[in-house]
Chain A
């Protein structure tokens, strides 16, 4: 099995799809010569040319709208929104157009577009370049939302997103780009809507997304040392949500922690907690714990940034609270 970085895994999915399928193309700000601000599309211009690796003006609304239009015409565009924060500028097109057109046209139109974007703290990007806004888009009927945390998942899920006939908002995490992981020789599509159990355990289930999957796995290691057996599950797809896997895990462990980097208030974890309390109410032996960023704009100062966003220690503390060992 080859080893790829998360960044290379994204690039591999894009390039492989573009090699096998003329309908697939990518567009975004500075993705061509520069290879994207995160270097994800580096080298793709040389292979595919500027018709299929399209630099756009600095207007997220325009580039999102163009991608939606192309998708309605039968293409499978993958638009890169440089920072998740800029999804706010593309939101009109994504939320009011992409999400609605298939429904409003009675199925006459499909919008097989992917909006790739990235965010995440840990490198002092400040308040406007690292937000985690996935919950905004999970709230919109008509969109699918993916947040992959490993090279294997990001490649397999991006592939499924490209070939999904519905608009997909595809979140990547800035600090995960350099992480390495084994991937299958050939791309194996990972179905949208299926969670992944990263680690099995008996005492508490941690449901984590993005960077917090890795923080949670570290916390689980530490908890193990203290005699607490932790199951770590990554939903991978936030919409649709694999409720069955999450609920059955919590029915087994009777305790749950939800963890993400986004602020806790109205975060994705709130929805997961609601699903769990409803479907596993009689199995819960402790309140569901939520781990997320403090309710604050992200500070520039590294020490303060570190304070605001959650880490393995926060997950571990939540794990211990659920088992009454805090």
Chain B
């Protein structure tokens, strides 16, 4: 960009700022703002109530923290009110089934100075809150989105807090937490994780189709899976009473594709992440063609024959032959043992491989991050620590719905039933291939890829575009999103 355009931009930016400011001011004036301090306080992040506390916290809190580590609950209770003279309010955007009301209450009982409000996960609401400059103090996200959140200045670097925490030691963190590390900062943690590409097979379905159960030690090739999917699919007239393979993707298509490419030392994006290299990477096209063919043969759930619910639900109901999920899904299979395919009616298998090289990391890494705009980073950290190392973390570890985020909690994974033991056996082997960190693109939210893929796959299956066109469309959608993101980040 040349100099004159830069100046130009600056002036216009000024203009817009002015406009927004005047508009905002006028609105407040016209509507007779209930308190004249409202505008001031929002720009000063809290004005008299907590801004000074927040500022000093950012620099000195870790030190204070390390001093008071023996009684973290107490220090929280005293330091927050000391600054504000009242209670500190935290907003946490998280799902209820991952953060129960009891857990929230327990935290508040231990930290009388902090009130926590949990709000449901809602993408639309989150965007609105973000735009208004009032994001939730802590929120749920997926690891591969973190670089984008950092580039946009949304999330807070928790590195100093980690370094001085006694509850969360960096060398105790499972490798999956590396998804939350970006450009030297540590922005959060996974709540738990799994190698995401293992398979769960429905024993009865294999028996019925007269297909031997695959080995629990040797990985299958993806090409074998497509055969299995065909053999296990069962139809009655127009109805698919059993779909061979529930989902041909660990969790999202784009990240699955990235892992398949990583097996072959290829990358989905250009080295500087400024564009996707889809059509030109023959290995990428080959994998997408493979999925497209499966969809076309209708042996996986697809846009023209979608799952009545979701593949995991279908699996325990016996409506699919096998599904591809990580260890976390064994929690669901175990807890629904009354279902058609609960408990040991299922078997846990190694992750398939495309090229022969095995790679089985987490590609979702769901966890928690703190907002950069939070006014109470200390209190937020306190809750973060509680959620990641306190009672909720213990509960999660024992539930079997994911590998704990802390290595020290690994032994707590359930190993009581035969199924759980079988799962553990395969899981331990899978760990060998799990230590790989997905290279996330910092310029866009990669759900754009999946949205575009699904939409264009549907069009291709309906015959309105060719497979080549599908690839072209996905490429151009993704590149547009990357370009927009890059321009916005500046």
Judge: A and B partners, yes or no.
no
Which B residues are within 8 Å of any A CB, using their own CB?
none
